[in-house]
């Protein structure tokens, strides 16, 4: 331990070492505990030393996203666009499951870093290679949105602290009371929740198969994309421009 820290202190800091340590720290203790100060401490360094390798915390987070993108499989070239897109999204999803901090960090990113632009570019290229018009590709990319990264903004995401099965510790009476309360106030939620969880008395959100739900929505979108593509769908805006081109051309 002491030896490790001394070794760490001997090796000079570098942007890569900083990012690597940030990723490891976020994996271990969660992103909410990753502060410049804590990260510096982890590296056996004074906080200000980090600022020579990253301009500020935003840039640190951008860098972390970069390493995340690096873990996503490159697109397969031999399958159709649909398979290629799906495989890539699912690969991104696996990367995000390995690094739970990826989601909140991606959501908060606002800088167009090369890593993110490159990832987006390769997605667009898959659609174009599949014969999609530039116009349809544009809208389809918007529709995909953050699902490109393998996550969806869910109704209720599990709070960081709350492990699954927390319900098990409740007294039957309390559970019964909650049940009656739900039945009175939120009858529709209860109906769906009961069907999904098979009357084991859990409330909505628990007991859902996240992977299934993600792929359900993804397939729904991809099928929709395919349908529009086959019928040569064009947005009114693009149609209008086509009219203009015809008129002036």
Partner DNA sequence: ACCTGAACACCGTTCAAGT
For the segment 49-108, give every residue that binds DNA (CB under 7 A): 49, 51-52, 56-58
Cα–Cα separations (whole angstroms), residue 31 to 139, 151, 152, 163: 32, 17, 19, 17
Question: Is residue 109 close enough to count as binding DNA by CB under 7 A?
Answer: no
Residue 71 Cβ, how far from DNA at the closest point, in Å?
24
- Residues 7, 14, 35, 191: which binds DNA (CB under 7 A)? 35
Residues 103, 96: contact at Cβ < 8 Å? Answer: yes
Residues 127, 135: contact at Cβ < 8 Å? Answer: no
Residues 13, 43: contact at Cβ < 8 Å? Answer: yes
Residue 48 Cβ, how far from DNA at the closest point, in Å?
4
Q: Binding string, 91-120, against its own copies, x = CB under 8 A?
A: ----------------x--x-x-x--xx-x
Residues 6+ apart with CB under 8 A from 216: none
- Residues 33, 134, 174, 192: which binds DNA (CB under 7 A)? 33
In angstroms, rounded to a whole number, what is the distance separating the alpha carbons of residues 110 and 91?
23
Q: Which of 10, 2, 19 is nearest to 45 (CA)?
A: 10
The binding site for its own copies (CB under 8 A) comprises: 107, 110, 112, 114, 117-118, 120-122, 124-125, 128, 134-135, 137-139, 141-143, 145-146, 148, 152-159, 185-189, 191-192, 195-196, 198, 203-205, 208-209, 212-213, 216-217, 220-221, 223-225, 228, 235, 237-238, 241
């Amino acid at each position: 331990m002491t030896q490790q820290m001394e070794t760490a202190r001997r090796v000079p800091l570098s942007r890569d070492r900083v990012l690597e340590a940030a990723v490891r720290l976020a994996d271990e203790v969660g992103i909410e505990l990753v502060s410049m100060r804590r990260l510096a401490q982890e590296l056996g360094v004074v906080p200000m030393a980090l600022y020579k390798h990253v301009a500020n915390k935003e840039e640190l987070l951008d860098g972390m996203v970069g390493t995340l993108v690096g873990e996503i499989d490159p697109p397969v070239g031999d399958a159709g666009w649909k398979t290629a897109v799906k495989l890539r999204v699912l690969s991104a999803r696996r990367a995000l499951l390995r690094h739970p901090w990826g989601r909140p960090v991606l959501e908060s990113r606002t800088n167009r870093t090369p890593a993110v632009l490159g990832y987006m570019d390769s997605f667009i290229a898959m659609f174009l290679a599949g014969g999609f018009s530039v116009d349809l590709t544009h809208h389809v990319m918007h529709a995909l949105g953050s699902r490109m990264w393998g996550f969806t903004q869910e109704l209720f995401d599990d709070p960081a602290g709350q492990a699954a099965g927390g319900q098990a510790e409740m007294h039957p009476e309390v559970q019964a009371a909650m049940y009656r309360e739900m039945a009175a106030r939120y009858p529709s939620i209860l109906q769906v929740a009961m069907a999904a969880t098979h009357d084991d008395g859990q409330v909505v959100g628990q007991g859902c198969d996240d992977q299934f739900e993600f792929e359900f929505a993804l397939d729904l979108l991809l099928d929709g994309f395919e349908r529009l593509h086959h019928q040569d769908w064009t947005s009114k805006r693009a149609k209008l421009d086509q009219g203009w081109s015809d008129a002036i051309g």
